[in-house]
Every structure is written in structure tokens, then in C-alpha cells.
Amino acid sequence: MDVNSKHELLKKYAIEMGTVKPNRKVYVVEPANVRRIFEELIEKYGYESFYLSTIVGTDLKEEGKIRLDYYLVLLPEEETVVIRTLLPRDNPVISSIVDIVPGALSGECETHDLLGVIFRGNPFLKRGFFVPSDIAEKGVYPLRKDSGV
């Protein structure tokens, strides 16, 4: 039940590992595996073994990718790890985790509104909640580098 076994679980899915800063590990995983990781964490360690701090989306225009960082805090060790995944910029679709991790709601809705990432299975996605309605009506995603706003 120690934190190392949780790291082992994440390592199993990692295609690349690194750190975002000292003592903060980042696991790069396939987009298709993100939901599976959360399912497995809940299955093995229970709902109270972690919380999702935030979801950060970044537009990597040169690489044609959108990067999603899930900031996860492992409990009770209070250790923050990052689950990173890269989506194709022209079709950014990933499975939602809002039904198993309700804390993902604001992160998913915000990333959808600002970057246009579609979280399949999230019934609450809509435009114009975080973004001003005049920008949302134009159909542009303001955090994309070529949005022109």
C-alpha cells in the first residue's frame, strides 16, 4: 500500500518518464490509457488514495499536438505526480474521467472551453462558461496559438 506500488502502477503505462521539477515525477502515457490508469488506481487503492488537483492543457502548435497534464496528488503521502498525454491537434479527443473522478469536472470543462479538447462521455461540456460569449460565438478557442484573439 505504499507510494512505491502506486508509482509501479503508473510506470506500467508510461512510455516516457521525467520530472517537471525536483521531486515531481511526470509519466507520459498514451491517451487511450488515461482512463484505464484512473480506473486501476480506484480499483486497487480506493477512492481516497488520490485526488485530481487540476488538468492543464497546452497547445504545442509546432509539434501539431495538444498536451494534457493531469496533476494527481497521491494520498496519504501527499505526493504530486503528473500524468502527461499528447493528443493530435486536429482531432483532440480523449475519454472523460468525470464519471469516476468527479473532481475532473472543472478541469475538463475548462480545457474544452479554452482549447477545444473533447472529453468523450462528459455530458457537461459547453462553450462560453469560462470564455466570454462573443469569443465562444466566433467558434475560436482562445488558448490555441493561432486563435488570433
> Which residues contribute to the site for another protein (CB under 8 A)?
131-135, 142, 149
CB of 39 to another protein, least distance (A): 35
* 58-to-2, 86, 102, 112 alpha-carbon distances in Å: 32, 10, 22, 12
Output 97 or 143, the one with its CB closest to another protein: 143
Shortest distance in whole angstroms from residue 59 CB to another protein: 15
Taking the least distance from each CB to another protein, the nearer of 15 and 149 is: 149
The CB-of-58 to another protein minimum distance in angstroms stands at 18
Specify the pairing of strand 24-29 against strand 79-88: parallel
Distance CA 108, CA 101 (A): 11
- CB nearer to another protein: pick between 98 and 114: 114
Q: Where are the alpha helices (DSSP H) in the chain?
A: 3-13, 34-45, 105-115, 133-138
The nearest distance, CB 46 to another protein, in angstroms, is: 36
Nearer to another protein, 60 or 149 (CB): 149
For residue 55, count other CB atoms closer than 10 A to its CB.
22
